[in-house]
């Protein structure tokens, strides 16, 4: 063999050996990165164990609700009450424990005199609270500046911005009511998508059309499937997040190219300016669009079934609506009306958000005689706070709009949570839009339709709870 061929062979063998070494080193580096990521992920979602005792030295009961299905936050509230009674208790939601409180005094114990506390979203994780999967919540929002996120969303959802949309909301809802199937209906199914459709109109404006509405509806249904599925919710949440991000980016791109009026594109400019993360944008927007659909459907159901069962109040409300026909915008904003009391009483019994976002205690607190460590995530059960007999009296479960003429307004600061972001429900971003849409829908229905209870022996389908007859 010539020296040239021998040299070539050695070079080839050296190159092959070098390639093997590089591949081996690369494999080690890849394994190290993978292990580091796993360790980091586990450290972020490390399982927590709280030991809290009551004044008698007994451990608070813990309820593991992972993998359990609940049709509504009301059902979950009843489940917790059956196990723990009126006392605080711990629930496990994935790797974390959260303390649930359910009485007005407990809320006052939590916040002390700081009633107007800002809700902190720094403990929400994928699948939390209570297994509710939020597209966009694939990572903890800890470290994100909630104030910056609110700064971009709040102008679009302010009372001023929402008020400018009243005429459009009213036209859309009036048209819907005119084509509504009447007779014996399931009130939940009849009214469950009204808030969803109107929030879509408000937030997407020029991007509001039937095709995009159906695409958004499919994303909502995927979100619901992720919430309700116990075995593969993480996989579905990831899929939901991916499709939600792609849909949102496409809307922003179309709005920018077409110079559309599109509030979600305006909000997204905060992401483009690196003033908030895309995850915070998607998570907040999905909370507004997706997380409250079922609960707002229950609010509507409570409103209309209770009006059906209370004919005197229904007739008085119809008369009030007629009297205020020429000043409709002002009427919708007033808080001294029967319309307002009907909505408030219905929100009391069916809060728009049944459980608050977990809020961390800012120091050691004593709640119901239990010593609660600092930085403990605490959740308020709005269903039970809103029916606390200490505040609302022995008839706390009865629907009576005029109770708001009698109850002490000061007691409502911790005893009434209609939009349960925290004790400061007024700070929930969607409150003003939701309240206007609720009222416009009530007015449109009561003006055009007589609401009647379903009587014994009447023909009705499964789930029917309301009889609707058009007024002549």
Query: Residue 35: pLDDT above 50?
Result: no
| pLDDT value of position 422 | 55
Query: How much is the mean pLDDT over the chain?
Result: 81
List residues bridging with 365 in a β-sheet: 372
Mean pLDDT computed over 258-271: 96
pTM score = 0.83
Flag the least confident range among 69-78, 128-137, 417-426.
128-137
As given in the structure block, the two tokens for residue 204 are: 């997407």
Instruction: Please compute the mean of the pLDDT values over residues 394-412 and round it to a whole number.
Output: 92
Which strands form 96-101's sheet, in the order they lie side by side?
A: 62-64, 89-93, 96-101, 377-380, 359-360
Q: What is the pLDDT of residue 55?
A: 80
Inform me whether the pLDDT recorded for 461 exceeds 80: no
Q: What are the pLDDT digits (tens) for 120-149?
A: 433 333 333 333 333 223 333 444 567 888
**Prior bond of 129 cis (ω within 30°):** yes
Say if residues 252 and 268 touch (Cβ distance below 8 Å): yes
User: Is 60 exceeded by the pLDDT of residue 430?
Assistant: yes
Q: What is the pLDDT of residue 269?
A: 96
| DSSP designation for 410 | G
> Are the beta carbons of 79 and 70 closer than 8 angstroms?
yes
Q: Is the pLDDT of residue 3 over 50?
A: no
CA dist 164 → 89, 90, 140, 159, 192 (Å): 44, 44, 35, 9, 24
Q: How many whole angstroms separate alpha carbon 260 and alpha carbon 397?
A: 48
* Contacts of residue 416, Cβ cutoff 8 Å, sequence gap at least 6: 348, 385, 386, 391, 425
pLDDT tens digits, 84-110: 888 999 988 666 788 999 999 999 898
Handedness of CA 194, 196, 202, 204 (dihedral sign): negative
What pLDDT, on a 0 to 100 scale, did the predictor assign at position 281? 92
**Which tens digit of pLDDT belongs to each residue from 37-46?**
444 444 444 5
Q: What is the mean pLDDT of residues 206-224?
A: 92
Query: Lowest-confidence range among 222-231, 272-281, 353-362, 405-414?
Result: 222-231
Note whether 417 and 103 are within 8 A (CB).
no
pLDDT of residue 143: 44
212-231 average pLDDT score: 82
Label residue 339 exposed, middle or buried (CB < 10 Å: 0-12, 13-18, 19+).
Answer: buried
Q: Which residues contact 290 (CB under 8 A, 6 or more apart)?
A: 134, 135, 219, 220, 223, 224
Kindly report, residue by residue over 146-188, the tens digit of the pLDDT. Answer: 788 889 999 999 999 999 999 999 999 999 999 999 999 999 9
Residue 56: what pLDDT? 79
* Contact predicate 417/380, CB 8 Å: yes
């Amino acid at each position: 063999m010539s020296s040239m061929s021998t040299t070539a062979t050695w070079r080839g063998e050296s190159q092959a050996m070098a390639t093997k070494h590089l591949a081996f080193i690369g494999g080690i580096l890849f394994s190290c990165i993978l292990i580091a990521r796993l360790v980091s992920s586990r450290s972020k979602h490390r399982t927590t164990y709280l030991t809290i005792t009551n004044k008698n030295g007994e451990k608070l009961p813990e309820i593991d609700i992972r993998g359990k299905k609940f049709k509504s936050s009301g059902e979950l509230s009843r489940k917790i009450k059956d196990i723990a009674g009126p006392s605080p208790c711990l629930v496990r939601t994935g790797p974390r424990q959260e303390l649930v409180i359910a009485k007005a005094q407990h809320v006052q114990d939590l916040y002390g005199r700081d009633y107007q506390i800002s809700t902190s979203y720094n403990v929400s994780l994928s699948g939390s609270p209570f297994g509710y999967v939020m597209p966009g919540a694939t990572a903890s929002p800890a470290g994100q500046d909630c104030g910056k996120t609110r700064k971009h969303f709040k102008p679009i959802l302010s009372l001023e911005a929402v008020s400018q949309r009243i005429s459009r909301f009213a036209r859309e809802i009036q048209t819907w009511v005119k084509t509504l199937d009447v007779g014996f209906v399931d009130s939940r199914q009849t009214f469950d998508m009204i808030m969803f459709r109107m929030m879509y109109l408000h937030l997407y404006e020029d991007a509001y059309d039937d095709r995009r509405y159906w695409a958004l509806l499919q994303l909502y249904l995927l979100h619901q499937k992720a919430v309700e599925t116990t075995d593969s919710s993480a996989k579905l949440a990831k899929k939901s997040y991916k499709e939600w991000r792609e849909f949102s980016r496409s809307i922003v791109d179309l709005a920018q190219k077409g110079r559309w009026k599109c509030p979600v594109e305006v909000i997204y400019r905060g992401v483009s300016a690196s003033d908030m993360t895309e995850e915070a944008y998607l998570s907040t927007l999905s909370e507004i669009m997706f997380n409250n659909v079922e609960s707002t459907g229950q609010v509507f159901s409570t409103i209309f079934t209770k009006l059906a069962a209370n004919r005197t109040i229904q007739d008085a409300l119809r008369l009030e609506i007629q009297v205020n026909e020429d000043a409709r915008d002002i009427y919708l904003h007033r808080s001294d009306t029967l319309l307002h009391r009907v909505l408030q009483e219905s929100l009391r019994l069916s809060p728009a958000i049944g459980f608050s976002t977990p809020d961390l205690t800012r120091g050691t607190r004593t709640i119901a005689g239990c010593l609660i460590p600092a930085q403990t995530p605490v959740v308020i059960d709005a269903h039970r706070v809103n029916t606390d007999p200490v505040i609302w009296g022995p008839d706390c479960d009865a629907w009576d709009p005029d109770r708001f003429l009698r109850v002490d307004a000061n007691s409502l600061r911790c005893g009434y949570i209609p939009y349960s972001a925290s004790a400061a429900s007024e700070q929930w971003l969607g409150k003003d839009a939701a309240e206007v849409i609720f009222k416009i829908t009530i007015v449109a229905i009561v003006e055009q339709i007589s609401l009647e209870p379903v009587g014994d022996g009447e023909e009705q389908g499964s789930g029917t709870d309301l009889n609707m007859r058009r007024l002549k």
